[in-house]
């Protein structure tokens, strides 16, 4: 996973940091995916233009998180695109509860992948 590699804010624990900042910010319950995590995937990773950390729509995010999203790498390929019919037909209906997110983040930290660089021969 990208965040295990240190590509975001040079942190191998960016996802945990993002989650902890969400909890400290006392946001409405069950909005981490929709209001925080989806920005990372659909606005930062999927955008050739840098995430605008001064955009007034994102003032609810701590400045450090906005800054990190502004320097997230662009991941070309369409994986993080909202263009799929399921995404557009059900926009705003997909909810991951905070309890489920906590479980996902804890389990992903316990099962950190080992990344090896390999060369084609």
Q: Integer distance in angstroms from the first to the last C-alpha of the chain?
A: 25
What's the pLDDT band for 61 if we cut at 50, 70, 90? very high
What are the Cα distances from residue 10, in Å, to 51, 71, 78, 113, 116? Answer: 17, 10, 24, 17, 18
- Is there a domain that residue 116 lies in? no
Q: State both tokens at 107.
A: 């389990």
Residue with tokens 């900042």: 21
49: CB partners within 8 A, 6+ apart: none
Residues 39 and 58 sit within 8 Å (Cβ to Cβ): yes
CA–CA separation, 26 and 22 (whole Å): 7
Q: Structurally, how many domains does the chain consist of?
A: 1
Decide: residue 47, CB within 10 A, 0-12 exposed, 13-18 middle, 19+ buried.
Answer: middle
Averaged pLDDT for residues 60-73: 89
Residue 118 lies in a domain: no
pLDDT: is 88 or 2 the higher one? 88
Answer whether residue 7 shows pLDDT above 90. no
Range of the domain at 15: 2-110
Residue 77 located in a structural domain: yes
Percent of the chain with pLDDT over 90: 26
Q: What is the pLDDT of residue 121?
A: 44
What is the pTM assigned to this prediction?
Answer: 0.72
Rounded to an integer, the average pLDDT of 56-69 is 90
Does residue 34 lie in a domain region?
yes
DSSP 29: T
Angle at 39 between CA 105 and CA 56, to 5 degrees: 130
Among 7-11, 67-71, 107-111, 117-121, the range with the most confident prediction by mean pLDDT is 67-71
More confident residue, 83 or 99: 99
């Amino acid at each position: 996973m990208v965040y295990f590699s240190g590509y975001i804010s040079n942190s191998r624990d960016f996802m945990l940091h993002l989650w902890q900042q969400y909890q400290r910010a006392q946001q409405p319950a069950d909005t981490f995916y929709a209001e925080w995590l989806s920005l990372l995937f659909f606005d930062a990773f999927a955008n050739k233009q840098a995430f605008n950390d001064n955009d007034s729509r994102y003032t609810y995010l701590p400045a450090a998180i906005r800054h990190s999203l502004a320097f997230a790498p662009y991941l070309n390929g369409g994986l993080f695109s909202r263009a799929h019919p399921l995404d557009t037909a059900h926009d705003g209906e997909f909810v991951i509860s905070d309890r489920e997110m906590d479980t996902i983040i804890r389990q992903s930290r316990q099962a950190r992948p080992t990344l090896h660089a390999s060369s084609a021969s």
